[in-house]
Amino acid sequence: MSAITPDQARTVLREAELLCPPEQIETALDRLAAAITAQLAQRDPLVLLVMNGAFATAAPLLQRLQFPLRVGYLHATRYRGATRGGGLDWVARPWPAALAGQVVLVVDDIFDEGDTLKAILDELRQQDVAEIYSAVLVNKRHDRKVADLTVDFVGLEVPDRYVFGCGMDYKEYWRNLPAIYAARE
């Protein structure tokens, strides 16, 4: 159950600032696809989507990747409907037997501080993958990033505000929006 009601979610959207309209998202997805294609088109990658956030980014991104690839998912979260992260919970781990020796691309919605993505990449490295890459639709600009983590493919940069839409939620709502909004501070 969500921490807010649908009416409260409507109010949040009404009061939010539009940061990235749908046209900007489409352009960012085109750039991401071009960069990923240049790097991985000949590598037979296994693309792992980080649920729940990555589904909105991944669907249109995967349609732009016109080369053979396989798709799987994992689900790790620190938020569980909150606006601040806690400890990492694994809801669904990738199947280890499918990872050994593979070139893996992890697709997520946002690179905020990076704790979740770093934990996911560390876990995958322990599964004997050949190579691992990461892609996010959004990089949030601030200086609180975890050490030793660089995202390989980034679609957009946004300011250091609480953002939602395009897979990112506001207390479990609005992942379905085709644009990115910043919640009123």
**For 108-141, how does the pLDDT look when each residue is reduced to its tens digit (9 = 90+)?**
999 999 988 998 998 898 888 999 999 999 999 9
Dist. CA 121–CA 54, nearest whole Å: 15
* Domains and their CATH numbers in the chain: 6-182 (3.40.50.2020)
Amino acid sitting at position 135:
A
For residue range 16-67, list pLDDT tens digits in order: 999 999 999 999 999 999 999 999 999 999 999 999 889 999 999 999 999 9
On the question of pLDDT at 169 being above 60, the answer is: yes
On the question of pLDDT at 1 being above 60, the answer is: no
Dist. CA 177–CA 94, nearest whole Å: 27
Q: For the purposes of burial, counting CB atoms within 10 Å of the CB of 86, is it exposed (0-12), middle (13-18) or buried (19 or more)?
A: exposed
